[in-house]
Each structure stands twice: as structure tokens, then as C-alpha cells.
Amino acid sequence: MSEDAAIGIHDLSFATAQFVLTHATLAAENGYDVAKYHAGIGQRSMSVPAADEDIVTMAAAAAAPVVARHGADRIRTVVFATETSVDQAKAAGIHVHSLLGLPSATRVVELKQACYAATAALQFAIGLVHRDRAQQVLVIASDVSKYELGSPGEATQGAAAVAMLVSADPALVRIEDPSGVYTADIMDFWRPNYRTTALVDGRESVSAYLQAVEGTWKDYTEQGGRALGEFGAFCYHQPFTKMAYKAHRHLLQHCGHNTGAGEIARFIGHTTTYNTEIGNSYTASMYLGLASLLDNADDLTGQAVGFLSYGSGSVAEFFAGTVVPGYRAHLRSEVHRAAIARRQDIDYAKYRELHERSFPADGADHPVERETAGPYRLAGLSGHKRIYEPR
């Protein structure tokens, strides 16, 4: 793609939750050596939403700075990617549209395919901008990962939202053609409608992910993509931080490249900084990795970044982007670091209370106590309707 025709990520902002549970606290409760988490899965803490936080409040908090910087006049589409939707019919993005005061002349949709959906949203957005380069598309990925207490997946939990403005002549990353895509019918992770927590077959999920790495790379190369040696960094979906290392090692082995620990860390180390502290944010995870890379790496100008987006079940895509000259002037590095640093540490009892909390299904009025320090909150439920408000 020529620079004149470039379309990609013009701005990127993320938000996370009010509370944090450290893995030291979790390990003490579960009777484990904390190294099981720190070294075993690469996690140090997990973001935990307050009672009045959810995917909508985090999404609005992530998107508000983007709209404040660029205005809403050119945003005619909002695509909200999530696998923890608050409603089976209404797009969560409509609540965000209202909270941000976006124009009524806007289409808003929600996309779902496990952790992959944000990449589908990005590609959808690129197609719309190709059709009309004057338009911009607001892509939001927001999720709260939740597993049963005491389950193997519990330590990987997290919560975050990433908002990206997709436009022509992007200031951060130009997204390139082609993509390598891959789908396989695998039950490695799923959540039926009657469950509030996900089910996961850990070994099957790791195997399915690595299978998808091979499948997407094969298709990407057959479509005429870049050679492996052309990339300066790689962003992977991170269900837990160590999975990114497993995935990149697998890709290197598959391509006959050096798989030394230092070589792997050189290409993905900066992408895992935020995920280590926040935990799995499902659809937001890979793009949180991009934020981490841009905020923490040395100058990436002109470098190609490989993206491996994986969603259990499974759908995956590999594509490339090139970092735009001058990108550093548009980053939100200090704000992002502050969002992680300002989380309030909680004990296991508070975490368990929040984990087990749910709304009654009687349609009565159920106000929610004020806990979040974020800009938006879930005020309550009334007549089965969620009520959101600025804090």
C-alpha cells in the first residue's frame, strides 16, 4: 500500500478498572508459591472492575480522550468488539455513543468472536474508510474476563478497554495488505448463555492457538505477505503473558529461525508490559499489547509490526502494520501508565465479593454504590434496563 493510500490506526487509548488484585494475594489465598503465577504464566496482578464498572464504562473512558482530541464530526461508525456483552440484543456501543454525545448520524454495531473480534472490527473499519476516506471509524474493544473461583483460569483474569480511531493518513500505524486468516471448529474456550463464567480446556486452547499461528502464517505467506525477517516486533493475543512467548517461539521454530529466549524477548518483550499487570482483556488484549509496544519501545519509526489475533473456537488472523514517522508525538504513554498505577489494591475478600456479585433478575430498581474513580459509571438497573451516567 502506498503512503498516499494508507489507512490505519490514527489514535489509540486504553482504560482499565478501579481495583487490582495482586497475584501475591491470590497465591497466599490458594496456598501456592507466587512463582506459579509470576514465572509460570507471566502475571503479577489483575484488574478487577468496581461494582459500578463494566465493559461500557471502561469503553467510554477509553474512547473519550480520542473524541476529545479529534472531535466527532468525521466519526460515522462505532464498532464495539466484546465477548462479555451486557445485552443479547442491543450493542454496548450504543450506551457509549450516548455517554460521549456522538452525533445521531452514526451507525453502531457489536461484533463477537471470542478474543478475535476487535481485529474483525479493525478490518471492517478499514473497508469503510477505503470507501470514503473522509470518514473515521471508532473501534472499541472492551472485556472483563471471568472464570470460576479456584479454577485454572482464575489467575489469568483481567479487564480493560482499548479505543482506536481508524482513518486515512494515520498518525500511528499503517495497516497493510494482505492478511492471513484461519478458522477451525474447536471447543477450547466457550461460555454458554446460561453461564456467567467461561469454560476453558487449557491444553486444548494452547494447542489450538499454536495451530492457528501456523495456519495464519501459511495463508499470509501464500497471499504474498512479508518475510519473517522483515518484522521489527510482533503483537500477539495474550490470554496470559507467557502465551505470547510460546506463540512466537512456535512461529520461529515453524520457520526454522533461532528460538533463543533473548531473541524472542527482543521482538515481543515490550508488548507484554501492560498485560502482565492488567491480565487478560480478551478482545482488547492484542491492542493493549500494541499500546505497550508503542509506549515502551525505542523508536519504531518505519518498522513493520506483525499482529497475530486469536479468538478461541477458533478464528485467527495474521497481518502487518508499519509504524508512522512522528508517531511518538501522538502517544498517551503517561496517561496509560497512570491508569495502571492508580488502581486500588484490594484483598481477597473484596475480590470475591465483586466476583460473585450479580443483579437480581426481578426487574426492580437496583442502584449501585459509587466506587469507581473513572469518568463514567453504571448507576444501576431499573425495569431490566442498565442505567449509565457520568461520574
User: pLDDT tens for residues 59-77?
Assistant: 999 999 999 999 999 999 9
For the domain made up of 3-390, the CATH class stated in words is alpha beta
Residue type, 370: R
- For the segment 206-222, the average pLDDT, to the nearest whole number, is 98
The residue assigned the cell 503517561 is 334
Overall average pLDDT of the 104-117 stretch: 98
Mean pLDDT over the full length of the chain: 97
The residues, any chain, with a CB within 8 Å of residue 354's CB and separated by 6 or more, are 19, 48, 49, 50, 51, 346
pLDDT confidence tier of residue 3, bands split at 50, 70 and 90: low
Chain-centroid distance, C-alpha 291: 10
Nearest alpha carbon to residue 178 among 317, 85, 10, 59: 317
Greatest Cα-to-Cα distance within the chain, rounded to the nearest angstrom? 61
Please report the sign of the dihedral spanned by the C-alpha atoms of residue 266, residue 268, residue 270, residue 272. negative
- pLDDT tens profile 255-305: 999 889 998 999 999 999 999 999 999 999 999 999 999 999 999 999 999
Name the pLDDT band for 2 (thresholds 50, 70, 90): low
**pTM, to two decimals:** 0.97
Catalytic site includes residue 83: yes
E strand or H helix that includes residue 45: strand 45-48
Q: Of 97, 237, 248, 270, which residue is the catalytic one?
A: 237
Is 255 assigned a catalytic role? no
Q: Find the angle CA(88)-CA(93)-CA(97) to the nearest 5 degrees.
A: 140
pLDDT in tens, 246-257: 999 999 999 999
Q: Considering 10, 23, 83, 336, which one is annotated as catalytic?
A: 83
Q: What confidence score (pLDDT) does residue 5 get?
A: 86
Q: Is the pLDDT of residue 101 over 60?
A: yes
Q: What is the pLDDT of residues 160-188, one digit of tens each?
A: 999 999 999 999 999 999 999 999 999 99
Q: Is 235 a catalytic residue?
A: no
Average pLDDT over residues 352-378: 97
pLDDT at residue 1 tops 70 = no
**Pairing assessment for the beta strands 315-323 and 304-311 based on DSSP bridges:** antiparallel
Per-residue pLDDT at 258: 85
pLDDT of residue 90: 98
Q: Which of 10, 115, 248, 250 is catalytic?
A: 115
DSSP assigned state of 239: S
pLDDT of residue 157: 98
How far apart are the two ends of the chain, measured CA to CA in Å? Answer: 43
